[in-house]
């Protein structure tokens, strides 16, 4: 075989290979466009369909009985925040304090198991939490309730908060812990006054992310909070939430309900994205 | 402890040491124990789920045993329950979702890490993460009122006239159905697979790419030989993670799949997944046998997702280990 | 070394047969070392020789590594630091420490940084805190530079100032000894000189033990020098002796730059 020949062959082949490379690149670009398209479409429809129905009534009125025009989702908006409040009472302390254990105290073996289990728990479908809390709270307490819905969301939050908060705590340089311990300060005070304070912005970020994750959850509320069309100030009674209201209106047969479902969706997406975007601001500031 | 006072430097009359309260271990012991209880409660939560599901499903397990998984009649009136239609529905819709999502996601991840101009990478990544943040119920709403009318007007008739001779694309087109469920699922798992794949691909050391470029390889050859083969295991983990998400995804599927407890060959026919049957029928399950059967479906769903996620985690852990261990 | 009789002048630190393991690996071998009060003792040696580990044994900071284990005895003015009833936090109140990298607490102002140890250890007396704050900043030669900016965050200072802030934070606790772990290795020569002058000032009231990889620094500042090599104390003597006429070949090889 002579060298001259192979180089020329290689040269000819190169054109084909370059063409192939360009083709694959084009396909990748196409895939990217296809992936982003649904997002764009969802947004366009949300804004078009939702904007015309989001008005003062939407935020101040209760849903009207089926068939009647007008009304709003005021109770569902308040309900969503109520449920998030109850959820954070469970999710935040367990998640944050558990993360403190992982980052500050735990040995490598136990930590590995806790992290692994919480990743597994994170992958459990949210509807499973719905039926577990149904069995655990709704049946014994003989009724659907805001409390049960909040607990279901809280359980969902725990693994999310645990993992993200741990990462944030581990970002605190070891030097601060050492400096504080070298002053003879008790470990728990070092954690509380130095580590958590230093990481506070990151911890808030982690919490906001968890809120954004569960604020749009419907499945765990279906058999716990149930939803209703009234004002409810009793946490032992059913309560509505934006996702629940959107679901029940979207699957109903009335056009005016559909219209309001779009409005609810726009408000819910705005809520979720405001949470997400404030996270981005917080993290950018830090870097 | 009196040592401090005895040995304090002679200079000070009112030293810091005399003012400090004695250190106490109690706070440290308490805080370690307390946070440990919180961390370990993760195990308790998993145990709690398993316990509740087992208790709820027990009558069904006792009555039907293993045949619950293999029979396909689901009749609350005669109280005969077999979960096969839902297992079938879950598998089929997830399969459709992965068939669509995997090539698109991995191609997008390649674009994001290898091809896209640098200024575009971060915005595009954020955009895809935003797609992941859209609540399921909103995608379902969009599915009902936008996607399904579009598909049943422009796509499904074409599919039927081309492939109608196979059982998969025969029969009446309802709009809602297995195929619509699979498509909406694909939209939901694309962000997951894409962002995990992107992380995997960008963790491939540049040394790999440079070595391939140095041999005169084209961009695609570099990607295929140096990047993809290196990241194989991690990408597989990303896909399995997407599968886990698809299996457990509830609301969007529930809203477009049609709530039918029958197995039919046609992808246009309505069906149910394990998750959607829970969402559709749990609230109306009035008698104990029906409720228990639904708990049993939940138990199966839980076990399947745990196994799938376990597998995905192990793959990703192994791939993460590669990052540090195996350098060319 | 010509130490006076122990009863007349009690040693600040007295380490006897100190051995330390990290897991299975032994990093310190039978260290016997005495530190005289109100003087500066330098510990030198190549990196990885165990000098930092030994320093951390003096305030029990090595216990932050979960696998660390120590045998032997260390006393501080006669008190056993490792007696079973002694809380490490108690040891650390008596033994201050300054680290290689300056680490003022990022969430605190300059004045809060100085009194962080006092306040977090439970002292509430405002007047006393202020008095200690000014005293410590003066001692650290920082008062004139920051007295108008006491509310600014500690991390807004320059590198050298941050390190002096850390010294002020440590001396505010009125420790009996100040440990310094390569305190100048991240600083420029000007800032280093300032800290070295400061050490001469501080040693009137405190005992100082400094770990340094900079032999000129050890020769300039210290009265006594210990040379550690591969976890063993090779030689300890007056600084003049170590740098002028060491009795061990290894010491001479090291200080003349033949290895390390």
Confidence of residue A121 (pLDDT cuts 50, 70, 90): very high
CB within 8 Å of chain A, chain B residues 109-128: 110-112, 115-116, 124, 126-128
Closest CA to B196 of B325, B91, B317, B93: B317
Bridge pairing between strands C177-181 and C95-98: parallel
- How is residue B146 annotated by DSSP? I
User: What are the extents of the domains in chain B?
Assistant: 64-325
Confidence of residue B325 (pLDDT cuts 50, 70, 90): very low
Residue numbers in B near A128 (CB within 8 A):
49, 53, 248, 298, 301-302, 305
Ramachandran angles phi, psi of C102, nearest 5°:
-65, 140
Q: Which of B23, B111, B245 sits opposite A32 (nearest CB)?
A: B111
Reduced to 3 states, what is the DSSP secondary structure of residue B92? Answer: helix
Ramachandran angles phi, psi of C38, nearest 5°:
50, 45
| Res. A12: pLDDT tops 90 | no
List all chains that touch chain A, counting a touch as 3 or more CB pairs closer than 8 Å. Answer: B, C
A131·B115 Cβ contact <8 A: no
Residue numbers in A near C170 (CB within 8 A):
182-183
pLDDT per position as a tens digit, C211-234: 998 889 999 999 999 999 999 999
> Cα(A270)–Cα(A272) distance, rounded to whole angstroms?
6
Q: Which of B35, B41, B108 sits opposite A35 (nearest CB)?
A: B108
Per CATH, the homologous superfamily of domain C13-255 is P-loop containing nucleotide triphosphate hydrolases (3.40.50.300)
pLDDT per position as a tens digit, C120-147: 998 888 999 999 999 999 999 999 999 9
HSE (CB half, 13 Å, CA atoms) of B1? 25
pLDDT per position as a tens digit, C78-123: 999 999 888 899 899 999 999 999 999 999 999 999 999 999 998 8
Count of other CB atoms within 10 angstroms of residue B33? 11
Q: Which of C107, C117, C166 sits opposite A198 (nearest CB)?
A: C107
For range B284-310, the mean pLDDT? 94
For range B224-240, the mean pLDDT? 90
C106·A179 Cβ contact <8 A: no
Q: Which residues contact A200 (CB under 8 A, 6 or more apart)?
A: C107
For range A68-75, the mean pLDDT? 86
CB pairs under 8 A between A and B: 266
Q: Environment class of residue B206 by beta-carbon count within 10 Å: exposed (0-12), middle (13-18) or buried (19+)?
A: exposed
> Cα(A252)–Cα(A244) distance, rounded to whole angstroms?
12
Closest CA to C214 of C232, C245, C187: C187
At C161, list the tokens.
Answer: 């100032």
The CA distance from B73 to the nearest CA of chain A, in Å, is: 23
At C77, list the tokens.
Answer: 């003015």
| B313 or B93: which leads in pLDDT | B93
Confidence of residue C193 (pLDDT cuts 50, 70, 90): very high
Residue numbers in B near A18 (CB within 8 A):
218
C-alpha distance from residue C175 to each of A279, B317, C93, C103, C116 (Å): 43, 47, 6, 19, 14
User: What are the extents of the domains in chain C?
Assistant: 13-255
Ramachandran angles phi, psi of C46, nearest 5°:
-65, 160
| Res. A287: pLDDT tops 70 | no
For range C180-193, the mean pLDDT? 91
Residue A88: enclosing H or E segment and its boundaries? helix A74-100
Percentage of residues in chain A with pLDDT exceeding 90?
70
Residue C96: enclosing H or E segment and its boundaries? strand C95-98
For range B130-144, the mean pLDDT? 93
| Res. B187: pLDDT tops 90 | yes
Q: Are C25 and A146 in contact (CB under 8 A)?
A: no
| Res. A1: pLDDT tops 70 | no
| Res. B238: pLDDT tops 90 | yes
Count of other CB atoms within 10 angstroms of residue B285? 17
| A17 or C59: which leads in pLDDT | C59
> Cα(C126)–Cα(C149) distance, rounded to whole angstroms?
19
CB < 8 Å & 24+ apart, contacts of C139-142: C139/C168, C139/C171, C139/C201, C139/C202, C140/C164, C140/C165, C140/C167, C140/C168, C140/C171, C140/C198, C141/C194, C141/C197, C141/C198, C141/C201, C142/C168
| B21 or A198: which leads in pLDDT | A198
| Res. B21: pLDDT tops 70 | yes
> Cα(C173)–Cα(B61) distance, rounded to whole angstroms?
68
For range A72-96, the mean pLDDT? 95
C125·B17 Cβ contact <8 A: no
The pLDDT of residue B320 is: 67
> Cα(B243)–Cα(C256) distance, rounded to whole angstroms?
66
Q: Which residues contact A126 (CB under 8 A, 6 or more apart)?
A: A156, A217, A219, A220, B248, B250
Residue of A nearest to B107 (CA): A28
Q: Kindly write down the DSSP assignment for every residue of C218-230, as one continuous string.
A: HHHH-SEEEEEET
Interface test with C, best of A182, A185, A198, A204 (most C CBs within 10 A): A182
Residue corresponding to tokens 């709009």: B175
Residue corresponding to tokens 């904007």: A51
Count of other CB atoms within 10 angstroms of residue C144? 9
> Cα(A223)–Cα(A240) distance, rounded to whole angstroms?
12
CB within 8 Å of chain C, chain B residues 19-78: 19-23, 25
Q: Which residues contact A18 (CB under 8 A, 6 or more apart)?
A: B218
CB within 8 Å of chain C, chain B residues 4-23: 4, 7-9, 11-12, 15-17, 19-23
The CA distance from C109 to the nearest CA of chain B, in Å, is: 21
> Cα(A104)–Cα(B291) distance, rounded to whole angstroms?
44
At A222, list the tokens.
Answer: 């279906």
| Res. B176: pLDDT tops 70 | yes
**End-to-end Cα spacing for chain C:** 25
pLDDT per position as a tens digit, A93-115: 999 999 999 999 998 899 999 99
Task: Quote the radius of gyration of chain B (alpha carbons, Å).
Answer: 28
Q: Are B280 and B253 in contact (CB under 8 A)?
A: no
C123·B8 Cβ contact <8 A: no
Q: Are C59 and C90 in contact (CB under 8 A)?
A: no
Closest CA to A246 of A48, A77, A15: A77
Say what angle helices A242-250 and A74-100 make with each other, to 10 degrees: 130
| Res. C3: pLDDT tops 70 | no
> Cα(A42)–Cα(A45) distance, rounded to whole angstroms?
5
Residue numbers in B near A117 (CB within 8 A):
42-43, 46
> Cα(C146)–Cα(C137) distance, rounded to whole angstroms?
9
Ramachandran angles phi, psi of C35, nearest 5°:
-115, 125
C-alpha distance from residue C134 to each of A73, B115, B304, C119 (Å): 60, 59, 65, 15
Q: Which of B38, B128, B138 sits opposite A94 (nearest CB)?
A: B38
Interface test with B, best of A158, A169, A181, A218 (most B CBs within 10 A): A218
The pLDDT of residue C170 is: 94
pLDDT per position as a tens digit, C71-80: 999 999 999 9
Q: Where are the alpha helices (DSSP H) in chain C?
A: 51-57, 88-94, 110-114, 116-120, 126-139, 143-146, 159-171, 189-202, 215-221, 239-244, 249-255
Residue of C nearest to B11 (CA): C205
C123·B17 Cβ contact <8 A: no
Q: Which of B8, B15, B23 sits opposite C90 (nearest CB)?
A: B23
The CA distance from A68 to the nearest CA of chain B, in Å, is: 21
pLDDT per position as a tens digit, A35-63: 999 888 998 999 999 888 888 888 988 88
> If you classify domain B64-325 with CATH, what class do you get?
mainly alpha
Q: Is the dihedral of CA B263, B266, B272, B275 positive or negative?
A: positive
Torsion of the alpha carbons at C21, C24, C26 and C30, rounded to the nearest 10? 60
Q: Flag whether residue B298 sits within 8 Å of chain A, measured between CB atoms.
A: yes
CB pairs under 8 A between A and C: 70
E strands in chain B: 74-75, 80-81
Reduced to 3 states, what is the DSSP secondary structure of residue A5? Answer: helix
Confidence of residue B12 (pLDDT cuts 50, 70, 90): very low
The pLDDT of residue C241 is: 93
Residue of C nearest to B26 (CA): C87
Q: Are C88 and C98 in contact (CB under 8 A)?
A: no
Max Cα-Cα span within chain C: 56
HSE (CB half, 13 Å, CA atoms) of B28? 14
Closest CA to C209 of C105, C57, C10: C57
Q: Kindly write down the DSSP assignment for every residue of A245-286, as one continuous string.
A: HHHHHHTSS-HHHHHHHHHHHHHHHHHHHHHHHHHHHHHHHH
| Res. A20: pLDDT tops 90 | no
| Res. C260: pLDDT tops 80 | no
pLDDT per position as a tens digit, A139-181: 999 999 999 999 999 999 999 999 999 999 999 999 999 999 9
The pLDDT of residue A285 is: 57
Distance of CA B113 to the CA centre of its chain: 23
The pLDDT of residue A54 is: 87
The pLDDT of residue C225 is: 95
Say what angle helices B26-64 and A108-122 make with each other, to 10 degrees: 50
For range B193-216, the mean pLDDT? 89
> Cα(B274)–Cα(C73) distance, rounded to whole angstroms?
66
């Amino acid at each position: 075989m002579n060298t001259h020949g192979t180089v020329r062959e290689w040269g000819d082949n190169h054109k084909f290979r370059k063409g192939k490379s360009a083709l694959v690149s084009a396909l990748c670009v196409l895939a990217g466009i296809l992936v982003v398209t649904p997002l764009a479409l969802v947004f366009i429809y949300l804004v078009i369909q939702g904007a015309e129905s989001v008005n003062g009534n939407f935020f101040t009125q209760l849903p009207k009985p089926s068939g009647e025009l007008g009304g709003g989702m005021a109770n569902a908006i308040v309900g969503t925040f109520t449920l998030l409040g109850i959820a954070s009472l469970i999710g935040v302390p367990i998640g944050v304090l558990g993360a403190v254990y992982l980052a500050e105290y735990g040995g490598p073996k136990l930590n590995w198991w806790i992290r692994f289990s919480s990743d597994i728990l994170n992958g459990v479908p949210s509807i499973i939490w719905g039926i577990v809390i149904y069995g655990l709270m709704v049946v014994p307490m003989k009724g659907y309730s805001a409390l049960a819905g909040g607990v279901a969301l809280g359980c969902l939050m725990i693994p999310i908060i645990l993992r993200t908060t741990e990462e944030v705590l581990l970002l605190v340089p070891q030097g601060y812990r050492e400096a504080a311990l070298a002053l003879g300060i008790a470990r728990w005070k070092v954690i509380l006054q130095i580590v958590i304070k230093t990481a506070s912005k990151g911890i808030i970020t982690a919490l906001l992310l968890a809120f954004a994750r569960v604020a749009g959850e419907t499945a765990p509320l279906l058999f716990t909070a149930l939803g209703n069309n009234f004002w409810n100030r009793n946490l032992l009674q059913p309560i509505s939430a934006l996702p629940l209201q959107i679901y029940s209106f979207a699957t109903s047969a009335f056009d005016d309900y559909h219209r309001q479902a779009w409005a609810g969706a726009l408000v819910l997406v705005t809520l979720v994205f405001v949470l997400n975007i404030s996270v981005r601001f917080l993290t950018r500031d830090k870097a | 402890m009196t040592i401090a006072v005895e040995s304090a430097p002679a200079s000070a009359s009112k030293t810091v040491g005399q003012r400090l309260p004695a250190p106490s271990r109690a706070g440290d012991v308490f805080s370690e124990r307390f946070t440990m209880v919180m961390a370990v409660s993760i195990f308790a939560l998993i145990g709690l789920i398993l316990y509740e599901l087992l208790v709820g499903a027990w009558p069904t397990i006792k009555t039907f045993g293993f045949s619950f998984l293999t029979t396909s009649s689901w009749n609350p009136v005669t109280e005969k329950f077999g979960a096969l239609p839902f297992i079938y529905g879950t598998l089929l819709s997830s399969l459709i979702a992965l068939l669509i999502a995997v090539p698109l996601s991995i191609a997008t991840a390649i674009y994001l890490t290898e091809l896209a101009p640098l200024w575009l990478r971060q915005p595009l990544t954020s955009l895809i993460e935003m797609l992941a943040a859209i609540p399921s119920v909103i995608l379902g709403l969009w599915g009902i009122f936008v996607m399904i009318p579009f598909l049943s007007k422009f796509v499904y008739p074409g599919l039927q006239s081309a492939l109608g001779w196979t059982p998969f694309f025969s029969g009446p087109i309802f709009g809602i159905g297995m195929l619509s469920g699979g498509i909406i699922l694909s939209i939901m798992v694309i962000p997951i697979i894409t962002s995990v794949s992107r992380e995997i691909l960008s963790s491939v050391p540049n040394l790999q790419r440079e070595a391939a470029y140095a041999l005169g390889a084209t961009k695609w050859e570099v990607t295929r030989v140096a990047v993809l083969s290196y990241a194989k295991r991690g990408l597989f983990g990303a896909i399995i993670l997407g599968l886990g998400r698809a299996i457990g995804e509830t609301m969007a599927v529930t809203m477009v799949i049609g709530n039918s407890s029958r197995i039919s060959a046609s992808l246009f026919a309505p069906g149910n997944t394990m998750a959607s049957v829970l969402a559709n029928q749990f609230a109306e399950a009035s008698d104990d046998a029906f409720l228990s059967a639904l708990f049993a479906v939940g138990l199966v769903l839980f076990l399947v997702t745990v196994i799938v996620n376990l597998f995905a985690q192990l793959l990703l852990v192994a791939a993460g280990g590669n990052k540090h261990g195996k350098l060319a | 070394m010509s130490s006076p009789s122990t009863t007349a002048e009690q040693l600040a630190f007295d380490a006897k047969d100190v051995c330390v393991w990290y897991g299975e690996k032994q990093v310190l071998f039978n260290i016997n070392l005495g530190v005289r009060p109100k003087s500066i003792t330098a510990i030198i040696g190549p990196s990885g020789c165990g000098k930092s580990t030994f320093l951390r044994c003096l305030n029990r900071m090595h216990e932050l590594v979960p696998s660390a284990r120590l045998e032997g005895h260390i006393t501080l003015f006669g008190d056993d630091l490792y007696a079973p009833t002694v809380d490490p936090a108690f040891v650390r109140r008596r033994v201050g420490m300054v680290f290689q990298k300056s680490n003022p607490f990022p969430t605190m102002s300059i004045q809060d940084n100085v009194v962080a140890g006092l306040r977090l250890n439970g002292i509430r007396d405002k007047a006393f805190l202020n008095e200690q704050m000014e005293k410590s900043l003066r001692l650290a030669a920082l008062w004139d530079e920051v007295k108008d900016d006491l509310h600014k965050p500690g991390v807004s200072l320059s590198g050298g100032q941050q390190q002096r802030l850390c010294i002020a934070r440590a001396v505010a606790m009125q420790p009996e000894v100040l440990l310094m772990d390569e305190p100048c290795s991240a600083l420029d020569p000007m800032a280093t000189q300032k800290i070295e002058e400061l050490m001469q000032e501080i040693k009137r009231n405190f005992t100082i033990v400094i770990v340094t990889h900079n032999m000129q620094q050890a020769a300039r500042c210290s009265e006594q020098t210990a040379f550690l090599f591969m976890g063993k104390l090779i030689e300890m003597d007056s600084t003049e002796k170590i740098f002028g006429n060491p009795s061990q070949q290894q010491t001479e090889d090291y200080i003349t730059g033949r290895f390390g």
